[in-house]
Amino acid sequence: MSDTKVALVTGGSSGLGRELVAALAGEGWLVITDGRRQTELTEATKDFAGVTAIPGDVTDFAHRDALVAAVRAAGRLDLLANNASTLGPTPLLPLAQRTVEDLPEVWRTNVGAPFALAVELLPELLADDGVLLSVSSDAAVEHYEGWGLYGAAKAALDHLTLTLAAENPALHAYAVDPGDMRTPMHRAAFPGEDISDRPEPATVIPRLRHVWTRRPPSGRYRAADLPAVETTVDNTTGAHA
């Protein structure tokens, strides 16, 4: 088995997912990632060494099979980062203006797909002392007008992630709220508003790095509460600076 660490990062074409791919590739990891739009995914990952980019939608069974096959071809899995997410129907509206038909889109992406990948790849994570990282949100524990479907899905993802940890004590599992960021999702949530006061997603990476390098007890964390772990690696070549 190769000593090169392997990560699967879903939703790697933009936002926090792209920064995770950049950081891990820069540290010399082999990174498997995906995105729904092939052109955007190719453009986002073209400058990073050691990245396998597989276009597709995580809610699609065949696409998930392709991701799992890529992991198994790599021969190990050190990190599964379930990052791909959706707000659901936009514009965001109060729950009283939603119907049960609005649930499937957000549920399949934010709960079903990450759960399916975590269960399918659990043997690899356990065999390789791997880390399961589920990207959560403050909406999973707070209650914001218009964010009900998204928040409920993230709460469910938190629960599934940490129940997997309870059932598998050897698993390092984390649901991490990265905080508000300047991402396409936040722009979609606040159309027409200036979100330039939000931090760039790259600023969150040193705190997320804490979970796969320091491995605190499994649990739910706010990224802001995690100690930052910096790196001195060139994220285009994987070489140390």
pLDDT in tens, 162-182: 999 999 999 999 999 998 765
Instruction: Tell me, yes or no, if 144 is annotated catalytic.
Output: no
- Please name the helix (run of DSSP H) or strand (run of DSSP E) that holds residue 134, with its range, or none: strand 131-135
* Gap between the Cα atoms of 152 and 106, Å rounded: 10
Q: Do residues 218 and 171 make contact, with C-beta atoms less than 8 angstroms apart?
A: yes
Confidence of residue 194 (pLDDT cuts 50, 70, 90): low
* Gap between the Cα atoms of 135 and 100, Å rounded: 24
- Identify the active-site residue in 144, 150, 174, 221: 150
* Gap between the Cα atoms of 107 and 102, Å rounded: 9
* Gap between the Cα atoms of 96 and 86, Å rounded: 20
Total residue length of the chain: 241
- Whether residue 195 has pLDDT greater than 70: no
Paired tokens of 140: 């999973």
pLDDT digits (tens, 9 = 90+) for 130-149: 999 999 999 999 999 999 99
pLDDT digits (tens, 9 = 90+) for 37-67: 999 999 999 999 999 999 999 999 999 999 9
* Gap between the Cα atoms of 76 and 4, Å rounded: 9
- Whether residue 238 has pLDDT greater than 60: no
User: Which residue reads 């980019």 in tokens?
Assistant: 53
* Gap between the Cα atoms of 131 and 123, Å rounded: 12
- Whether residue 227 has pLDDT greater than 60: yes
- Whether residue 17 has pLDDT greater than 90: yes
* Gap between the Cα atoms of 142 and 151, Å rounded: 8
Ranges of beta strands (E only) in the chain are 6-9, 30-35, 51-55, 79-82, 131-135, 172-177, 219-222
* Gap between the Cα atoms of 33 and 92, Å rounded: 28
Q: Which domains does the chain have, with CATH numbers?
A: 6-225 (3.40.50.720)
